[in-house]
Structure 1
Amino acid sequence: MSASVPAEIPAAEYKLFVRAGALRFYLRNTNEGVYLSPKGIGWFIDGTSYTRDWDEIAVVNLTAMHIPKQGPSGVCKLTFTDGSVLSVLSASKWGGSDAERNVEYGRFLTDFHRVIPAPVRGKIRFETGVGAGRHTGMIVALVIAVAFFVVLPLGLTLYFREWEGLFIALAGAGFVTPLYFMMRKATPATYDPNQVPPDHYPKNSRANALPNGLCVLCRAPDAEVDDG
């Protein structure tokens, strides 16, 4: 990884927050800015520009989630050949869902997958969802939630013949249903970079992504770009 002022004019820049290293709790996002260039991808951490060539990307992982009472959010996590990690977020400064940044993230996601050089694509693993261990934990948590919030109230309703338990079970079903869809969306899988799964674009972001041809690199993926 190199840290320097970009040597070339970025083909496209995106006002998205980024995080270096494994995702963990932050009070707020502070590092903003990611760009695509003819050579690869670049980003800014504490005002310093970092760049990686396309052939240094080993894994691309997409996750999507729904933040309660706010809306959708997405993360594109890149793991490089040396094991270091960069995450590009659609979230706001405070980690919430942000409609404008969701659109910007959709634009980034579309352009990013289009401009990866063909010879490099076959060397990158494209994944969606979380790790197998974490997904198993989500399944266990869902089963426990269903048993506690749905099955138990129904059982008590049948045993005591008091219908109040039925309303509790219905409320419990409303609580666990979003967890079920979250668990499904987090299922580990691979995908074709030419067909990015639509459900990994935050809502409405794909429709607002730049059409093919507007990104400098997307005009002719195999042609040289004149930096000016």
Structure 2
Amino acid sequence: MWKATSPLATVTALCRNAIAQQIGFNLHFFVNSVTFIGKVICHAKLTPDQVKIVCSQSGESYDRNKEKIDGFPINTPSGEPCKINFYTSTAFEGCDIFDKTGRTYIVSDGTATHSMLDVATTIRQIAGRIRDTRYKEITHIFSESRYGRDVSYAQFKASTEKEIDKAERWLKWYVSGDEDLKPLIHADMNYINKKTMTLDRNRLKLDMLNFRN
């Protein structure tokens, strides 16, 4: 973990160094805000050929996101990696990223008040997203609590219980599905034991305990 007074300043500095020093690995940042990405691009004075950005392209989100990142192109997770790569929640689960020299950074921006929970709550989804990297460690850049500075215990509990409900409904769909299709289904959802394809409430209890601590 990397506690930073300003995650924005820290990420900006990392990007500047990556370009200036031509380091031997690529940076992959998982963030909770397209606005945050836009600020890093501006402060680090990045150019489109140096950056790969993966965020929502659905409906009205596409135009809004393009405006936030100053018209930089929006890519797909499977696209060719750049020296600096940014991903929002659209790539947190169910996608494959390939980059043998890619390092993973999870950024919890406490100033992103529009998000009830920061990306630290989805670390399990992000871990292993870069399938073939030689770098297995994950760096978490955060300010304050890893669960977000403006999130109460009641809000966090409500959010995780909502995810449990989603997982339960997904499992009911899975159980009632065709047997020959089940091996093809990859469940990348919190609180589901991937080996037994059952709900794991112990993970919920652990999250509740960690939040209080």
TM range (shorter): 0.3 to 0.5
Structure with the larger strand share: 1
Normalised by the size of structure 2, how large is the TM-score?
Answer: 0.33
Query: Larger C-alpha radius of gyration, 1 or 2?
Result: 1
Structure with the larger helix share: 2
Normalised by the size of structure 1, how large is the TM-score?
Answer: 0.31
